Amino acid sequence: MPTDKKGFFITIEGIEGVGKSTAANYIQSLLAEHSRPYVTTREPGGTEVAEAIRKILLVKRQEPVYPETELLLFFAGRMQHIQQVILPALAKGAWVICDRFTDASYAYQCGGRQMDESFVRSLEQNIQKELQPDLTLLLDAPHAVGHSRIEKRGETDRIEQEREAFFRRVREKYLQRATLYAHRYRVIDADKTLEEVQQQIKTALNEFLQSHDMKSL
Ligand code: Z5A
């Protein structure tokens, strides 16, 4: 971890529509209620340049976007985001609540697009250095659940238009990583009512705080 890190870095992961943004808003309200300083942010995005990269990534195009191009763009945005938002907030002692981070690159680019993990790992090492999430909440549900929740939005973006098999591989990769990095992952069953999901999130956060000898939320 960076030596001047004082806050906690919490990431929220999962396939499309499982409720990540809703979870980020809920955590934000819990932290505000308990007067804990926080910053909520997202990937791709989080800074002016990274939001511009997000648009490049998500707009549907005629020209094929190669998996390598896609991966490099995600990490280009991540570099801006880490330097401009994440590290300064952590150094000030704020909690950083981030809707997706590098686990998404492993899940989508390695799981979904079947890229070699070594490419992601080398970018991770070069861009993040020692920065890793303290806690990753994986909102897990079958693709059909998330998909039906966002269907009403109508228009899909470039990645959302992938087929079901792609999202099945993404979900499997997330679950594999949750086992591999069990010390920082908590799997939340997202195929539940909003109240039940929020209860699971609160429990996970309080267990995390307890393990750091800190007061519950
Ligand atoms: N991507 C990548 O490939 N590699 C990377 O490194 C990174 C990202 C960082 C953009 O992500 C795309 O980038 C994404 C992965 C890729 N592509 N896909 N697919 P994004 O995060 O911007 O987009 P998203 O994953 O599609 O997120 P989303 O559509 O915003 O969904 P969400 O945040 O998980 O869900 P939500 O907005 O909180 O909830 C959806 C609806 O469900 C909403 O109406 C809620 O009120 C409702 N909801 C939430 N929880 C519940 C429960 N428990 N019950 C019922 N209804 C609920």
Rounded to two decimals, what is the model's pTM?
A: 0.97
Q: What is the SS3 assignment for 138-199? A: EEECCHHHHHHHHHHHCCCCCCCCCCHHHHHHHHHHHHHHHHHCCCCEEEEECCCCHHHHHH
Task: Please tell me the predicted confidence (pLDDT) of residue 161.
Answer: 84
Place of tokens 């992938």: 162
Collapsing DSSP states into helix, strand and coil, what is residue 13? strand
Query: Does the beta carbon of 59 lie inside 6 Å of ligand 1?
Result: no
Report how far residue 85's alpha carbon sits from residue 208's, in angstroms, rounded to the nearest whole number. Answer: 23
Whether the per-residue pLDDT at 82 is higher than 90: the answer is yes
Query: Does the beta carbon of 100 lie inside 6 Å of ligand 1?
Result: yes
Please write the tens of the pLDDT for every residue from 139-176.
999 999 999 998 878 788 888 888 899 999 999 999 99
Q: Which of 41, 53, 100 to mutate to test the pocket of ligand 1 (most atoms within 8 A of CB)?
A: 100
Per the prediction, the chain carries an average pLDDT of: 96
Mean pLDDT to the nearest integer, 61-90: 97
Task: Please tell me the predicted confidence (pLDDT) of residue 52.
Answer: 98
Mean pLDDT to the nearest integer, 80-87: 98
Domains of the chain: 9-211 (3.40.50.300)
